[in-house]
Amino acid sequence: MNKVKQREANNATAVDVTDLILHDIQTGVLAPGSWLKQIDLEQRYQCTRPEVRRALDRLAQRRLVEHVPNRGYHVFEPDGRQAAEVSEIRILLETGMADKIAANASTADVEALRELARRFDKLILEGTPIELYEANLAFHYRLLSLCGNSELVKLVTEIRQRTSSAPVSQWKTRARIEQSSREHHEMVNAIAAGETAALKDAISRHIRQD
């Protein structure tokens, strides 16, 4: 019983510091290029020094922060070339799965996607940039999951984090967001119609201007 209590307490606090820092990097709270001082993080997230260090090491492994020995860790700023390369990788992976996505999608899946796309639309007006960002993520996650390759889904999820470090807070222009919205529906329609070429094209454009 005491044990159970502990488990529950642990599970409640089971949100790893790594995820918290990651989230703050992605929502732009921790700006690209800024130094992540261990003391600050320790206080901000109410955790111990070793926890902070483990989190920073993990994020450095994923290339979300950069480690300079004896200087510390700072939020990674991908240069233009790297960003372009990552986009290219994503295009390769996601368009490569277009056929399977279209093949595997049931009518229920299509409807679920349409719903997620609508949710994105709704949040353009009513939601915060962060909510919008998360709705976008949810849509793409659901979409890609249809390919049936769970390792690939994990991989893309991981990779996607590398490009979208900064942009969330000051997320591009209204025009672009609405363009994104249109492309979402374009993708859903392409899947519903089984037009894989159109799907590939939409995905490709979508990633490029992400």
* Binding string, residues 21-60; x marks residues near its own copies by CB under 8 A: ---------------------------------x--xx--
Pick the closer one to DNA by CB: 56 or 190.
Answer: 56
Q: How far is the CB of 28 from its own copies (least distance, A)?
A: 22
The answer to whether the beta carbons of residues 117 and 209 sit under 8 Å apart is no
CA torsion sign, 93 to 96 to 100 to 103? Answer: positive
Q: Note the Cα 77 to chain centre separation in Å.
A: 16
Helix axes 129-145, 107-126, angle to 10 degrees: 170
Pick the closer one to DNA by CB: 27 or 38.
Answer: 38
Helices (H), 13-106: 17-26, 38-44, 49-61, 80-96, 98-104
150 part of the interface to its own copies, by CB under 8 A: yes
Q: What share of the chain is helix, strand, coil (3-state, %, to 5)?
A: 70, 5, 25
| Span from 87-95, 104-112, 121-129, 194-202 in contact with its own copies (CB under 8 A) | 87-95
Query: Binds 72, which of its own copies, DNA, none (CB < 5 to 8 A, cut-off by type)?
Result: DNA
Taking the C-alpha atoms of residue 185 and residue 77, their distance in angstroms, rounded to an integer, is 31
36 part of the interface to DNA, by CB under 7 A: yes
Pick the closer one to DNA by CB: 19 or 115.
Answer: 19
3 part of the interface to DNA, by CB under 7 A: yes
Query: Binds 173, which of DNA, its own copies, none (CB < 5 to 8 A, cut-off by type)?
Result: none
Tokens of 210: 């992400």
Taking the C-alpha atoms of residue 87 and residue 186, their distance in angstroms, rounded to an integer, is 20
Q: Which parts of this chain interact with its own copies (CB under 8 A)? A: 54, 57-58, 61-62, 82, 85-86, 88-89, 92-93, 96-97, 149-152, 155, 159
Residues that bind DNA (CB under 7 A): 3, 6, 35-39, 48-51, 53, 67-73
